[in-house]
């Protein structure tokens, strides 16, 4: 704890913070309520291993419980996840790019009529920063679906997913939708999976212009889960 006979103040502060956290859990353990939120779902489970999966309040920055947020705690035998659901998880089935005809450029769906960015209630910048500090992994999925009576075709279309930083994005490819009967073997949907603690949750998505814009498609944005 000492270097060259001088106190190592950062190390001392770390030890004190750890002791303070342990004392808090002993004296006033969280119960997942608005008044007594846990830091994460893992901490809640450690205090109450009898709890089942469900909605509980968490407060990653452990300041005033006034800014605690509601999260879904997924308790399984292999993991204890803190999951935040977007307020609007469904981009409805419609011909999103029908009016957009510019070749070779991306169109963000939030800028189109009835489009929106993905918003996670009460998950402000500070709370997200502390939630990442208390976590080692993060995962989120997005499902792309063709309208009924259509299937994924052969033509690739570039797609971008905007990260939480709003400055970085993931680049991927999806198949255009084509007419197809229910009996055909080709699927109606595809799933994108993301795992990056520093870049999740996703905030928006964009498709590359060009080709056939008349088909209908939609997206389902899953929760971002930290553990």
Structural domain spans, the chain: 2-83, 90-226
**pLDDT value for 109:** 87
Whether 164 and 200 have beta carbons less than 8 Å apart is answered as yes
- Answer yes or no: is pLDDT of 191 > 70: yes
Which helix (H) or strand (E) segment is 126 a member of? helix 125-133
Measured in whole angstroms, how far is the alpha carbon of residue 60 from the centre of its chain? 16
Residue with the bigger pLDDT between 31 and 215: it is: 31
Give the pLDDT mean for 194-210: 92
Give the pLDDT mean for 119-138: 96
The shares of helix, strand and coil residues in the chain, as percent rounded to the nearest 5, are: 20, 35, 45
Reported as a single tens digit per residue, the pLDDT across 80-112 is 999 999 999 998 888 887 766 567 788 898 988
- Answer yes or no: is pLDDT of 208 > 60: yes
Domain range 90-226, CATH class = mainly beta
Across the chain, what does the average pLDDT equal? 86
**pLDDT value for 38:** 95
pLDDT band at 14 (very low <50, low <70, confident <90, very high): low
pLDDT band at 25 (very low <50, low <70, confident <90, very high): low
**How many CB atoms are closer than 10 A to CB 173?**
12
State the Cα–Cα distance between residues 119 and 115, nearest whole angstrom.
12
**pLDDT value for 52:** 97
pLDDT band at 215 (very low <50, low <70, confident <90, very high): confident
pLDDT band at 16 (very low <50, low <70, confident <90, very high): low
Q: Which range has the top average pLDDT, 12-16, 22-26, 83-87, 91-95?
A: 83-87
Q: What is the CATH number of domain 2-83?
A: 3.30.750.130
- Answer yes or no: is pLDDT of 1 > 60: no
Give the residue among 99, 191, 153, 202 at the shortest CA–CA distance from 107.
Answer: 99
Strands 189-194 and 217-221 turn out to be: unpaired
Reported as a single tens digit per residue, the pLDDT across 131-175 is 999 999 999 999 999 888 888 888 888 999 999 999 999 999 988
Specify the 3-state DSSP secondary structure of 158.
strand
């Amino acid at each position: 704890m000492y270097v060259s006979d001088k106190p190592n103040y950062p190390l001392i502060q770390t030890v004190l913070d750890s002791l303070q956290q342990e004392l808090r859990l002993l004296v006033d353990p969280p119960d997942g309520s608005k008044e007594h939120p846990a830091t994460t779902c893992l901490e809640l489970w450690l205090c109450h291993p009898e709890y089942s999966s469900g909605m509980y309040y968490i407060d990653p920055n452990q300041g005033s419980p006034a800014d605690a947020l509601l999260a879904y705690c997924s308790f399984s035998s292999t993991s204890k996840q803190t999951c935040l659901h977007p307020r609007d998880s469904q981009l409805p089935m419609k011909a999103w790019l029908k009016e957009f005809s510019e070749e070779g450029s991306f169109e963000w769906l939030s800028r189109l009529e009835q489009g929106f960015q993905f918003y996670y209630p009460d998950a402000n910048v500070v709370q997200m920063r502390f939630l990442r500090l208390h976590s080692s992994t993060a995962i989120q999925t997005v499902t792309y679906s063709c309208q009924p009576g259509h299937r994924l075709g052969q033509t690739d279309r570039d797609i971008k997913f905007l990260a939480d930083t709003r400055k970085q994005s993931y680049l991927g490819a999806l198949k255009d939708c084509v007419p197809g009967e229910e009996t055909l073997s080709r699927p109606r949907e595809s799933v994108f999976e993301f795992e990056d603690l520093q870049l999740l949750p996703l905030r928006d998505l964009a498709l590359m212009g060009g080709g056939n814009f008349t088909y209908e498609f939609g997206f389902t944005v899953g929760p971002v889960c930290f553990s």
